[in-house]
Structure 1
Amino acid sequence: MIDFVISVTAAEERRLKEFIGALRTSCKVEMNPVSPFSNDTFESEFRSKLLTHHCFMGSPLFQESFDSAFIAACSHAGHKVEESADGQRFWDVIIDGRRISLKSSKAKSLRQDTLHISKLTEAAWIQDCRTASKRREHTRRLFKEYCEEVDAIVQLRYFDSLHRYELVEIPVPLFSQIMDIGREHFAADGPTINIPIGKNPPDFTLKLDRSDAKVTIAKINKQLCLVHGIWQL
């Protein structure tokens, strides 16, 4: 029986018990010792947010709720945090001087060994380009700007069938290889290019999605990324 110091209604007491029960849900945690977030304060704060959404609210930690949880955990752990201004295009938060783009995915098609970013960024020009030269020119310009603006992408992945969350960092310098891609690989209206050319499996796959005017990065080799932590429910 949980005793509450303050006076609460019967309904409030039930919700409080449910909330505390959610926070105490069994959760096996594996933090990577080389991760800058591998400390008890970050992990416990992030886990409490994760369990609040997943077990109390009944929905996976995702999108804005993930962004909020990650930023709060960094702040409580003593990292220097500066959130982006409204309208900032490529990144969401500066952590200890590093500009980070926050992404999340709960797609059923998630794979263990590769990562997928459905929308790295919007790119209206994809629908307007009619030649390989123009597509290559715009792509190179976009990624030059992106690589100058963003230091890393941190993605939270939720594997529904495994009841497991995984926090992974994708190094943005990986995308600099796009600068080396020849014009002939941009011939299709919506090209899909394995990078680097000829490597199997590739480091990643670049997709220019003409229907949705967005840039997708698929099949990112997880071995090239940093897994910060795993939360197994």
Structure 2
Amino acid sequence: MPEFKATVSGAEQRRLQEFLEALRKPCTAQMNPKSMYHKPEFESDFRSRLLIHHFFIKSPLFQDGFDSALESACSQSGCKVKRAPVGQRFWDLEIDGRHISLKSTKARNLREETLHVSKLTEAAWIQDCRTAKKRRDETFRLFREYCSEVDAIMQLRYFAANRKYELVEIPVVLFKQILDVQAKHFAADGPTINIPIGKDPPDFTLKLDRSDAKITIANINKKRCFVHGTWKV
């Protein structure tokens, strides 16, 4: 690490002291030893982003901040990272060749054992579908395309009660089960379908939101996902 020597103004000195104060705030981190990100460089860089954000912004790290924090931490840990090209609708970062969609949530009703992706993607065609077959065909078309382009969803969850962040990976291969659903389950204008059919609890719930023209994935069983790490700030 190079040493820097520079003359700073009083305001700059105060700001540097604030940064140091932020970085030295207590933070309990726990990384999954099986995680591809189980590296000191990743954990320390990601932790520093969380601490600085909380110190200066006074609110949880959310979508835009999460994108840049994960990109920086991956780069610092030696991963090859590229941002998605402009116009790419399904994924945000390419990390070591894997296409990753980034999501974050700070909802008050977060549950420990299930995940919720409020807006997987827009789907304007939902409002034009009038038959179960048409809904199923369009859903199949969308998820074939989605599963061919995206490898995983990375979601950062913030639990306000205990000030805990959780970084969870949702494998997109789970969604291929949608292609096994029969047309009769798409009969409602805005169907809600537990998948796989008949499993209790389901792996996830597919929702075609007609009012907002979007796809929601709810009740994702965390046992089917992978927790990379947690940070308590």
Check whether TM > 0.5: yes
Cα distance between partner residues in 2 of 1:72 and 1:87: 22
Q: How much does 1:5 deviate? A: 5.4
1:71 aligns with: 71
Pairing 1:23–2:23 present: yes
Which residue identity is paired with 1:121? Answer: T
Q: How much does 1:54 deviate? A: 1.5
Return 5+ residue gaps in structure 1 as ranges.
none
Pairing 1:217–2:217 present: yes
How many residues of Structure 1 are paired with residues of Structure 2 in the alignment?
230
Secondary structure of the structure 1 residue equivalent to 2:35: coil
Which residue identity is paired with 1:100? Answer: I
2:137 aligns with: 137
Q: How much does 1:80 deviate? A: 1.1
TM-score when scaled to structure 1? 0.96
Pairing 1:92–2:101 present: no
Q: How much does 1:95 deviate? A: 0.7
Pairing 1:232–2:232 present: yes
Kindly provide the CA deviation profile for residues 64-84 of structure 1, in whole angstroms up to 9, marking residues without a partner as x. Answer: 110000011101110111211
Stretch of structure 1 that moved more, 48-57 or 95-104: 48-57
Task: State the identity as a percent.
Answer: 67
1:122 aligns with: 122
Pairing 1:61–2:72 present: no
Q: How much does 1:32 deviate? A: 0.2
Cα distance between partner residues in 2 of 1:79 and 1:62: 22
Q: Runs ≥4 in structure 1, deviation > 6 angstroms?
A: none
1:43 aligns with: 43
Q: CA RMSD in A?
A: 1.2
Which residue identity is paired with 1:218? Answer: A
Cα distance between partner residues in 2 of 1:6 and 1:149: 47
1:107 aligns with: 107
Cα distance between partner residues in 1 of 2:57 and 2:10: 19
Q: How much does 1:96 deviate? A: 0.8
